[in-house]
Amino acid sequence: MIDRSQRPSLHSLEEYDLPATQCHELPNGVKLWLLDAADVEVTRIDLVFHAGTLHQSQLLQALFTNRMLREGTRQLDQAQIAEKLDYYGAWLEQSVSFQYSFVTVYTLNKYLEPVIALLEQMIKEPNFDAQALEVVKQNNLQRHLEVMQQPSTQARRLFMRSVYGPQHIMGQYAEAADYQSINACLLQTFHHQHYHHDNLSIYLAGHITNHCLDLIAHTFGQPFGGAKVASEATIQTVPLRPATKQFKEMPGTRQSSVLIGKSTIGLQHPDCLPLRVLVTLLGGYFGSRLMMSVREKKGLTYGIYALLNPSDFDNTLMILSDCDHRFVQPLLEETYHQIDRLQKELVSADELALLRSSMKGDMLRAYDSRLALTDAWIYLHTHGLPSDYYHRMWQVVSSITPQELQRLACTYLNKDTLTEVVAGEKMS
């Protein structure tokens, strides 16, 4: 019997690997990835279509096509779809990236058959009703107008356009007129061209039974859809644009938003994983340099963060914060001071140990179940990364040295290459 009066001993986890997936191929060529977890009576189904924003003919086309899948089919209207999802206790998520559109459903195994049947209708028979579309458009337009009043939104849009240029997809953002120009015909065309079996991958996680596999094969294992050709899109080369300083005045705002960063190396670059460690040290967790100095010691902001935002083109380095407009200049100065420190001083052993523990803990928490592990595998597959990516990340976190972090800081955090954007009241 376990002696619960004694605390379990602590030990370090030396290695980290994702549980392997099984890959099957359906009769129509669709790849089916399986992550079995026999101890849960829930199944997660992810349908991943090569139908992202890179494939659209105008802004918002991919987003609204994906969004309207739940707004009505040939047999069911929006209310009936919502009622069925609620009745079966199923949860539906939808999203769109540059390359892909995602439809995710969580369901109890005992309701697998009716939920998959509902999912099939949504994917194969959406009706893109004009009246329902108008309601969705107006709701989304209202949210767009609201977030456009936020300095953080304006700062991000200005930053991305300054770094990538307005012609690059990374620098393109929808305006109010783009919402009004969306119509059912545009969505039907996009659906016909991209939502078909040649463009689909499926992920299953949970208690995967033979019955579940048979249902998926019967539903999505035969040819369906219109175009029957895989989507192709040209990846644009990121233009080299000089670093700038931009300010967008927004009178009456209570805070200013600050964004500093640049376009940097891609996911396949050998420095990418070590650079993630450096950026986390700078501002990627609560004990980071920026949080401890800008927030804890100086009290200039409630939060300041640094991250690498991955895309099909590169990683975008961003340092973000909101603060009182009176503190913008001291915040900028302290941020650059902390960058200088990383370039001139070696990180201490204690600070590096804390960083390692934090990053490893985040990795373990992020993928602590088979259902969550699906996100990890989808990330690898959609970004073209090797299966040992997370193992390599763990090794880099475990072995990176202060000297390597200093080299990375000198190489990738050169202040002359950083674009600086502020949106809000005029700085005092």
Model pLDDT for residues 242-259, shown as the tens digit of each residue:
889 999 999 999 899 999
Residue 13 lies in a domain: no
Q: Give the whole-number percent of the chain exceeding pLDDT 70.
A: 95
The pLDDT of residue 215 is 96
Residue written as token pair 């972090």:
405
Number of domains in the chain: 2
Q: How confident is the model at residue 18 (pLDDT cuts 50, 70, 90)?
A: confident
Distance between CA atoms of residues 257 and 421, nearest Å? 8
The enclosing domain of 187 has a CATH number of 3.30.830.10
- Residues 124 and 79 placed together within one structural domain of the fold: yes
User: What is the domain range of residue 397?
Assistant: 245-424
Using CB atoms within 10 Å of the CB of residue 373, give its burial: 0 to 12 exposed, 13 to 18 middle, 19+ buried. Answer: buried
pTM of this structure: 0.92
Are 258 and 324 in a shared domain?
yes
Q: pLDDT band at residue 28, thresholds of 50, 70 and 90?
A: very high
Q: Write down which residue in 205, 220, 235 finishes a domain.
A: 220
| Continuous H helices in 47-129 | 61-67, 78-87, 112-124
At 92-151, the pLDDT tens digits run 999 999 999 999 999 999 999 999 999 999 999 999 999 999 999 999 999 999 999 999
What's the one-letter identity of residue 369? S
| DSSP result, 351-382 | HHHHHHHHHHHHHHHHT-SHHHHHHHHHHHHH
Residue 42 lies in a domain: yes
